[in-house]
Structure 1
Amino acid sequence: MTTCNPDVERPTVATIARPATVAVIGTGAIGQDLVSKISRSSALTCALVAGRNPESAGLRHAELLGCPTSAGGIEAVLSADRPFDVVFDATSAAAHREHWPRLEPLGSLVVDLTPSKVGAMVVPAVTGLDAGGSRNINLVSCGGQAGVPIARALATAFPVSYLEVVSTVASVVAGRATRLNLDEYVATTGQAVTAFTGVSDVKAILNISPAVPPAPFRTAVHALIPGADLTRVREVVESAAAEVRRFAPGYEILAASVTGDRVMISLHVIACSEVLPPYAGNLDLINSAAIMVAEQHATRLALSEAAL
């Protein structure tokens, strides 16, 4: 099984004079891990962590890391003395749909970690980090970040007629927001698979496993590919996985099989985090993508300021 060090370096971030100021809305497991990752980034500085429960573990965690905190939720972000360079929304799909119209006038880059489908979808291993100038970036879902790179690689190399992405998360890391977002999760993941592969016949499934001890986050990608060659399939998916491992080193292909025209790829993600357990690879994966997007934005801001 893959083991990870949370201090493993991500792709090089340009040295910048002024780290980008960052606000995090949401103090659950995703928010706590984001704060830890921000604290290790030379390109970002945590300027506010906003929740709604003054006694939440997430606010206490942020305070221990020296981040300003508030129990005022989005109101604390909106009432800040100056807009933040980046705002991470780690709440729920329904909440983000309400947040975006209020955040948009601030001019911040908003990185949406919910399956709201409001912003431009970004899967770094497929799209890169640029969302075509959009200031609302949607990271699809954990299953989307895990499955889309493999689905895209297969659809690019072979005549794929059907794709299915099935993710399984441990019940103990499927919090209230995840359970509220189940319908949006499935719909948004399916939409992303179609958008990035061109395959219209797709299905997305999320399983919440009560297994004890909790199993690592797993995703299986099923495809219909006439005449698929197993050796070529393995080459294609390993190349795609290597791109994901550039920012999420716990991403690992477990198996690839071809039975007739049915292709199955199985993978898991081990969390590389100071605060998440190893089996919470789903959260680590989407957060790692979010941090990379924010760091790229910080670099662009620094270059723009240097040119003035």
Structure 2
Amino acid sequence: MHKIKCAIIGSGNIGTDLMIKIMRMSDILEVGAMVGIDSTSDGLQRARGLGVATTDQGINGLVALAGYSDIRIIFDATSASAHKRHSEILIADGKQVIDLTPAAIGPYTIPSVNLDDTVDAQNVNMVTCGGQATIPIVAAINRVSHVVYGEIVASIASKSAGPGTRANIDEFTETTATAIERVGGAERGKAIIILNPADPPLIMRDTIYCLCEEANTDKIRASVIEMIEEVKAYVPGYRLKQDVQFEHIGPNNPLHIPEMGRDFTGLKVTVFIEVEGAAHYLPAYAGNLDIMTSAAIRTAERLAMKRNWTEEVY
């Protein structure tokens, strides 16, 4: 099997974790280049120390690298605004783009939910760390009982949020909310992110609230647990923090949904998730890095196999 060369644009927390994870864990991918704009960044320095080709000239520097033509897959871990320009250049050059920003140019991709539906796209979007952690749960509930409204709260350690993440807060909430609807299946989605400054840093926590039609609670619980196992296959630190919670909301005391301008009666399902990182770069509290980079690698490996790139003779 031939390894597929890839490049990473963005030498911050996500890009660096992605590089280390590929080098340690992937039998299919090979890091061919690390791209940044700050020659002193930890990510670029680590890449040089590991023998990876680097450039601090951004996308232009990547295109100018001698080995650029051999690179098939590009991971973009910069910002939503920067990705728009990057995508245009890379798609014109025939590269496969995996977008780890909230730019949402390509289809939203959650490996445990809709990976086979999106891997034919030249640019796929990995939504957000909060989306990767919570949308599988919304989808798991929705496949048993239609979700009218889905709201998620993602709490991550402040120390795990680099400049790119902080610059994308608005895009995070908008992209995640939209993906809750398009991938999770909810009629209406809402997303909230909390950067927790606690010291020592807390492990990533996610809370998912779903208002859905009345249904068998045992079936919903079983669907959630099944989905958790599917995510754990590529994110081992992903786990249910406590038992799934149910609340029946009757017509005598309906719940008003301001975002939808309507009252709701039915079933409220609450799920608490914890994501412990593999500590490939930042410590284990940075589950937000781990779930994002793990999902991106899962997607890249799946599309490489589907297109038989690993069987080609160079």
Q: TM-score, with normalisation over the residues of structure 2? A: 0.88
Q: CA offsets per residue over residues 217-272 of structure 1, 9 Å max, x none?
A: 11111011343544333211101111101100100011211122321000010001
Counterparts of 2:73 and 2:155, CA distance in 1: 30
> Does the residue aligned with 2:166 lie in a helix, a strand or coil?
helix
> Does the residue aligned with 1:295 lie in a helix, a strand or coil?
helix
C-alpha contact (below 8 Å) 1:53/1:71 kept by paired residues: yes
Aligned residues: 291
CA 1:225–1:91: 2 relative to 1, 3 Å: same
Residue 303 of structure 1: how far off its partner (Å): 5.5
* Corresponding residue of 1:177: 164
* Corresponding residue of 2:258: none
* Corresponding residue of 2:30: 45
C-alpha contact (below 8 Å) 1:116/1:184 kept by paired residues: yes
* Corresponding residue of 1:108: 95
Q: Which moved more, 1:50-59 or 1:158-167?
A: 158-167
Which residues in structure 2 correspond to 1:81-230 (within 5 Å)? 81=66, 82-83=68-69, 84-129=71-116, 131-230=118-217
C-alpha contact (below 8 Å) 1:228/1:258 kept by paired residues: no
CA 1:19–1:303: 2 relative to 1, 3 Å: closer
* Corresponding residue of 2:251: none
Counterparts of 2:150 and 2:117, CA distance in 1: 26
Q: Runs of at least 4 residues of structure 1 off by over 4 A?
A: none
Counterparts of 2:303 and 2:61, CA distance in 1: 23
Counterpart AA for 1:23 = A
Counterparts of 1:131 and 1:220, CA distance in 2: 26
- Identify the match of residue 312 of structure 2 among 295, 305, 308: 305
Counterparts of 1:125 and 1:183, CA distance in 2: 25
Which residues in structure 2 correspond to 1:13-32 (within 5 Å)? 16=1, 18-32=2-16
> Does the residue aligned with 2:75 lie in a helix, a strand or coil?
strand
Residue 64 of structure 1: how far off its partner (Å): 2.1
Identity %: 37
Counterpart AA for 1:60 = Q
Provide the alpha-carbon RMSD of the alignment.
1.7
Counterpart AA for 2:292 = I
- Identify the match of residue 258 of structure 1 among 228, 246, 255: 246
Residue 304 of structure 1: how far off its partner (Å): 6.1
C-alpha contact (below 8 Å) 1:219/1:266 kept by paired residues: yes
C-alpha contact (below 8 Å) 2:146/2:186 kept by paired residues: no
C-alpha contact (below 8 Å) 1:270/1:278 kept by paired residues: yes
Structure 2: unaligned runs, 5 residues or longer: 249-266
Asked whether 1:286 is paired with 2:258, we answer no
Residue 24 of structure 1: how far off its partner (Å): 0.7
Asked whether 1:238 is paired with 2:225, we answer yes
